[in-house]
Structure 1
Amino acid sequence: MRTFLCPMDSEKPRKTLSESEARLKAANFCAYQERTQQEVRDKLYEYGLHRDSVEEVLSWLITENYINEERFAKAFAGGKFRIKKWGRVRILRELKQKGLSDYCIQKGMAEIEEEQYQQHLREWLEKKNAELKEKDLFIRKRKLAQFAIYKGYKPEEVWAKLNTLL
């Protein structure tokens, strides 16, 4: 077995795994939580595999259904929406950044129900409004809008909701 230095930690030598060892570790890596192909590909390169071996292991993982990008997109979008209450814009940006296909992104975005989406936006705005000490209504609205837009909600939705709330 060869060892190589990890680029992030030049003092820690790492072992190069065989393809079968890497396959097992990658399967465990994917079983722990949903992963994209790129995340797994990066992990396989960290294990010291060469390009052909990486693609071989990756195709095996896809065949065995350890990796499914549509399933990843649904889990990611649903989770970020329900748990972190992100808006569609931010979720969409993150999914694109992960390199998913438009089809997978569309399937992931379909996990967000419109009624719940509007409810989360209203809850964010009400919570943040209660925290603000600003007296001036225009400044208060601007701060609330900036906050909600940062969370990933569309500006026109935010302003419409603000006008009904305040």
Structure 2
Amino acid sequence: MQQNKSDKTFTFDEILRKAESYCVYQERCHTEVILKLKTFSSSETVIDNAVVHLIEHNFLNEERFACSYARGKHRIKHWGRIRIVRELKARSISKYNIDKALKEIDPEEYTTNFNNLSERIWESITEPNSQKKKKKFCDYLLRKGFETSLIYEKLQDLT
């Protein structure tokens, strides 16, 4: 009979090795690592000890994760501050780390990215009805997590 992966029990050293490689691949938050460790069907004590080991050996660092996450999501996915904060809160990141992460985003770069994105979106919306076009524009940028005041200010400039 073939054994399922979830039925296999791992030694503490195997779990540590897997957790270390999981954290080395990309920055992770504590919640992601704990969920991954639970897939190895280990006891809470083993999971706690593994997390402590990862923190002590700097494989796991919430501040570093939050800063990296904020920079990456803003530069690559063009998310605004509101969306970044919401996503970090969903990952149980502390307010201190969220504030520190937001400082990683250069205000000039933020404004430039917002302006480029908003102008590109405005041009791409082919809606003939101007009210519907404005609504689609605002809805898109709100989903991206930009501040309402920025959006409406830009809308005034574009119309």
Scaled by the length of structure 2, what TM-score is found? Answer: 0.92
Separation (CA, whole Å) in 1 of partners of 2:112 and 2:28: 29
Q: Which residue of 2 aligns with 1:92?
A: 85
Structure 1 residues not aligned, in runs of 5+: 6-11
1:28 is matched with 21
Q: Determine which structure has the larger strand proportion and give its number.
A: 1
Q: Which is helix-richer, 1 or 2?
A: 2
Aligned to 1:40: 33
- Aligned positions of 1:1-166 closer than 5 A: 13-166=6-159
Provide the identity percentage: 36
Corresponding pairs, count: 157
**Structure 1 residues 115-150: Cα deviation after superposition (integer angstroms, max 9, x where no partner):** 111111111221111112223433322221111111
What is the CA–CA distance in structure 2 between the aligned matches of 1:136 and 1:13, rounded to whole Å?
55
Find the aligned partners of 1:24 and 1:146 in 2 and give their Cα distance.
Answer: 44
Contact (CA 8 Å) 1:18, 1:49: kept in 2 or not?
no
Query: Cα RMSD over matched residues?
Result: 1.5
> Does the 8 A contact of 2:6 with 2:41 survive in 1?
no
TM-score (norm 1): 0.89
Does the aligned pair in 1 maintain the 2:6–2:40 contact within 8 Å?
no
8 Å contact from structure 1 (residues 149, 155) kept in 2: yes
